[in-house]
Every structure is written in C-alpha cells, then in structure tokens.
Amino acid sequence: MGESTWTREGIDAAVREAAEGLGEGGVPVGAALEVGGVLVATGRNLRVQAGDPTAHGEIACLRAAGRRASYRDAVLYTTLAPCAMCAGAIIQFGIPLVVVGEERTFAGEAGLLRSRGVEVEVLDDRRCVDLMSRFQREHPGVWAEDIGEAPPRP
C-alpha cells in the first residue's frame, strides 16, 4: 500500500465515539474516517440505541461520511477488530488501511481484510481494551447479540 499513514487524531476520535456509546448504554465500538489526511466522519455502534442490527460503529461512520466516489486515500479507524459485516464494507469500498484499537477481546476479521489486500495495523490501545472488557463483563447478552452468537446461559 505504502502511501497511507495514520494519525493519533483518528484513533482518539474513534475512542471518544466508543466512550459515548458506552455512556448511552450501547456497545462501545467507535470509528473514524480520514480521507486525504482529513477527518471527515465519526460514528459509533448504535445497535442498542437505534434498534438497528446493522448499525455497527464502522457502518455508522461510513454512513456519516456520505457518498464518496473513492476511498483510495482513506484510513478507517476502529476501536475493535471489524466483524465480517464491517470487513465486507471495507473490502467493498476499497479502503486501503484500517487502524484497529484492539483485537484482544474480539479477534474479528483482520485475516480476511489482509487476504483481500487491506493493510491492518493493530495498536493494542489500552483504552479500547478497557472499554470493551468492561462492556463484555457487564452486558454479556448484548455482546453475544452484537457478534451474532447465542446469548450466554444464566
């Protein structure tokens, strides 16, 4: 890939979105999109708040960015490794670089992204790990629902 670089501003914006989502009772996944080095959109997982099963953080961010002819100069930041649905959107639009806050609490589809030529950089950001660990501990049923797994048994 070579030309794209990431910024602290991008991951910080994604973390702010994740924290806001947690404060609203939602899944704490935030995302931000830079195009040509300019932050153009942010979003957070709104599945709980909006009752929308497709409202993951990356998807909400892409919706907020609006229609674009090309994502060739884009960097997508996400606090958590993308799931299959979000990875599909990244591949579909040809986003060349994804900066992931953490993949400890959910491995996601980094391998799929890499197999399709997407550069993936994992930061192992403690803020991201802490937000998701807390959420998974406090809301295991909602977390299972978010990633398409059966809820834990009581």
Among 12, 13, 66, 10, smallest CA distance to 37 is for 10
C-alpha of 133 from chain center = 15
SS (H, E, C) 21-89: HHHCCCCCCEEEEEECCEEEEEEECCHHHHCCCCCCHHHHHHHHHCCCCCCCCEEEEEEECCCHHHHHH
Secondary structure class of 120 (helix, strand, coil): strand
121 touches 102 (CB < 8 A): no
Residue 35, beta-bridge partner list: 38, 74
Concerning whether 109 is annotated as a catalytic residue, the answer is no
Catalytic residue among 34, 58, 103, 109: 58
- For the annotated catalytic residues, the residue numbers are 58
